Structure 1
Amino acid sequence: MRVFVLFLFSLTVSACADPAEDASVSETAEAAAYDGEWSGTLDTGGPQLRLLLEVAGDNAVLISLDQNQARLPLDITRQDASGFAGNVSSVGAAIDLERTGDDELSGTFAQGGATLPLTLVRGNLFAGNGEAADDFIVETAGGQLAGTLRLPAGDGPHPAILMLNGSGSQDRDANVAGQPVFAVLAEALAGRGIATLRLDDRGIGGSTAPAPASPLELAEDASAALEALRSAQGVDARCVGALGHSEGAMIAFLGADGDNPAFILSLAGQHGPMAEILYEQSEAIILASGGGQAAADRNRALQDAMFSVMRDPAVEDHAAALTAALVELGFPEAAAQQQGAMWGQDYAIAALDLDPGPAMTAYDGPVRALFGGRDLQVLAEPNRDRLLAAREGLPTEVAILEGVNHLFQSAETGLPQEYANAPHAMAPEALEAIGMAAEGLFAQSCR
């Protein structure tokens, strides 16, 4: 789900460093030599923990694959010809590794007074380790969608879930701020004996289908993907449901009449028109950021002005009209053009007032919805209330998980800037709740 907060703001320009004052070419090359993935196993004296180090310039993340793929930002203190070192302040840990070969680092991992030996080698030793994950292609009216079919252990056939991304351009892992939300969720569900299919969005990764003109096109894609998943080897065709995150939950309902899923599992689901969601989202983010009600009211007025342009059937070029409206309201030209291009797209115009309510009522299968109590992008209570109102008399269960944000991460404020530094792509308690909800839906719909 995109964030739509329209502050009047000024642009900052980064100065270009003089080459004489910048790092030397050799130092830059030494740092770049660490870019990519490094992997190894940490012997704790008990459990063996698989670690993956991702380095990109001055940024690094240490991933504990056996602890729900917890992503721990690492502050680099050294990366030169002699070795690589850094601190993981979130867990009070540090690594100090010497360069023992072109593709090997050896040294120590320290935490809580303990110092353990650690060796990392270039590349991901664990890619595909223990997984029955295969590339998967879905043919749609708009073109091909590429994804990953993750089958659990055993011969099957297995119950399965189609995973539908939220808004914006996301890959099959639903990477948000570097957090592979759907990849982690797929692994957790595989551990419960549930197969999953996750897909690259149109025009992303291996998907060749063009950008959609409306959410209804994505609903048609979801129907095609459900049909393909039912036919996949190792999948129980009688037990295939849809899981949607954020806007993906709305897409699941919109597509349900095309190829009826066994159930729908909604995660932080958008259960109202985009305009209403954006009004609620932006006010919540402004207030949580300390902006105050007056700032939220000013932003609402800006949204009203933009939505008026987006709704005007006489407008032929929405991007240009939005840009002009924002410039008139005081936005810098470059910022106005950027916002105009984003919100002037056919998809945004079509989605603005599209109400999923009738589709939520029309689907008579079982539904379970989970919301984050600290979600500031799709607020829990109003979307819960919309869902329950639309599904009165239909099998529907709803729960709000306290302490987690829009990505179901443990959160302090719920603000989007917390996403990247969360210790887990999804909190362990959220993965447990989602897994239990999925198992309950299978028991309810596949008897």
Structure 2
Amino acid sequence: MNFRTEYMQDLMSRVEKNHPAQPEFHQAVREVLLCMEPVAQNHPEYIKAGIFERIVEPERVIIFRVSWVDDQGKVQVNRGYRVQFNSAIGPYKGGLRFHPSVNLGVIKFLGFEQIFKNSLTSLPMGGGKGGSDFDPKGKSDNEIMRFCQSFMTELAKHIGADTDVPAGDIGVGAREIGFMFGQYKRLKNEFTGVLTGKGLNYGGSLVRTQATGYGCCYFTDEMLATRGESFVGKDVVISGSGNVAIYAAEKAMQLGGKVVALSDSNGYIHDPEGIDLNAVKQLKEVERKRIKEYVTTHPTATYHEGCNGIWTIPCQIALPCATQNELDKEAALTLVKNGVIAVAEGANMPSTPEAVDVFLDNKVLFAPGKAANAGGVATSGLEMSQNSMRYSWSFEEVDEKLKGIMKHIHNNARAAAEKYGDAENYVLGANIAGFLKVADAMYMQGVAY
């Protein structure tokens, strides 16, 4: 899809020039700016105030060295990042990713997406993201602790409960959050809600582990309801087997669906009788083994090398929950041919632009990640609220609030899409609904010289 206005085309060209060799960031910005063309026509005051130019430029980018000592006594050096993208509606909020693929472009893309995702939740949170090219896989607990302490020693200078509140992401779970929180507490001599995703016994929130997967299914269920459909009786294919995928599978099953496939970075399993989720949890959460081990105890299941093949399995609902750009045009065409009616992104930008076009052109209900996977950060926002109150809600209370937030996101995105001429285009609706709240706040706060 091409830009229709010279203004947006020029702005996109400047983004590509000013942020070279960052394809993921360019992809995320292009998607948003394509949706902003009718908004710019309706709001010339945003152009005059430079809102579009300002929102694609991070407020602050922090890059730092992380030195730590491995178990053999050798000094290792990694690179740390924190991109504080936009604070117009609240403190920066977004996860930390520890993975070898992390670079500045990836963190910018994630931070930019986070602006709109956080806005959609209706909670007062700005957008940010961070991480490191450190790989926790194969490291001992002590090595991970030493890395996390070194990472937080620098990061602590730039964050705070009312400034920037990081959370977990790929490679950053309860263990890593605990190590970083402990280091922050030692450095600052204060016990504060500076991180979310904490353990339940020191300020964490119930449902946080399940939130992204549950929220993705709640959004999908709202989409399906607009066509008189539901999860009941539907075959569901879910990529990934981390927290998001596992709890998307759990909620899909609770809503009446049958999950027939899951994957990891090596390959995927297909069980036409329905995935035994307890077995998957044991493998991935307890034993930390590869997904292929599932077939050794489940004779109806088969394992296939290469994770992309998962999209060849016929299904009515597809939930890509692994990583960015995992679902391409060919996979999208295959899903459509095999009868898919709804696709919701549990991961961040897992569908390529060409795949998204295939879904929209074929009237498949498609939920972009900034809307469908906002449940995680929404529950992080609820954790921040509980920390401020020095109080905690029950599982049922948090889950009900999460469900309400996802319904609100769906309704707002659909209303915005309808206002701008395409009621079932959730990409258009989510981007516009998320943008307008932030843009109005930026406009009212003036220009900081």
TM-score tier by shorter-chain length is: 0.3 to 0.5
* Larger Rg computed on CA atoms: 1
Which is helix-richer, 1 or 2? 2
Query: TM-score, normalising length from structure 2?
Result: 0.39
Query: TM-score, normalising length from structure 1?
Result: 0.39
Which is strand-richer, 1 or 2? 1
